[in-house]
Amino acid sequence: MSETPLIADLGGKPEEAPLSGGLSGAKIGVVTFPGTLDDRDAARAVKLAGGTPVALWHADTELGDVDAVVLPGGFSYGDYLRAGAIARFAPLMAKIVDAANSDAKLPVLGICNGFQILTEAHLLPGSMVKNDHLKFICRDQVLRVENNRTAWTNQYDEGQEITVVLKNQDGQYVADEKTLDELEGEGRVAFRYVGWNPNGSRRGIAGITNAAGNVVGLMPHPEHAVEPGFAPLGADGHYSTDGLGFFTSVLSQLVEAK
Partner 1 sequence: MPRIVVDVMPKPEILDPQGKAIVGALPRLGFTAFSGVRQGKRFELTVDGPVTDEILEQARNAAETMLSNPVIEDVVNVEVLDA
Distance of closest approach, residue 180 Cβ to partner 1, in angstroms: 12
Three-point CA angle 154, 155, 159, nearest 5°: 80
The residue from 58, 112, 120, 146 that is catalytic is: 112
Distance, in Å, from the CA atom of 75 to the CA atom of 39, rounded to the nearest integer, reads 12
Pick the closer one to partner 1 by CB: 27 or 202. 202
Q: In what order do the strands lie in the sheet with 161-168?
A: 52-57, 27-32, 68-71, 108-111, 215-218, 205-209, 189-193, 137-145, 161-168
Exposed, middle or buried by CB within 10 Å (0-12, 13-18, 19+), for 256? exposed
The residue from 58, 120, 146, 221 that is catalytic is: 221
Of residues 31, 85, 145, 231, which one binds partner 1 by CB under 8 A? Answer: 85
Active site residue 221: yes
| Strands 108-111 vs 68-71: parallel, antiparallel or unpaired | parallel
Of residues 59, 81, 233, 235, which one binds partner 1 by CB under 8 A? Answer: 81
Letters for 89-118 (x = contact with partner 1 by CB under 8 A, - = none) are x-----------------------------
Residues lying near partner 1 in the complex (CB under 8 A): 81-82, 85, 89, 119-120, 125-127, 129-134, 172, 174-176, 200
> Active-site residues: which are they?
112, 221, 223
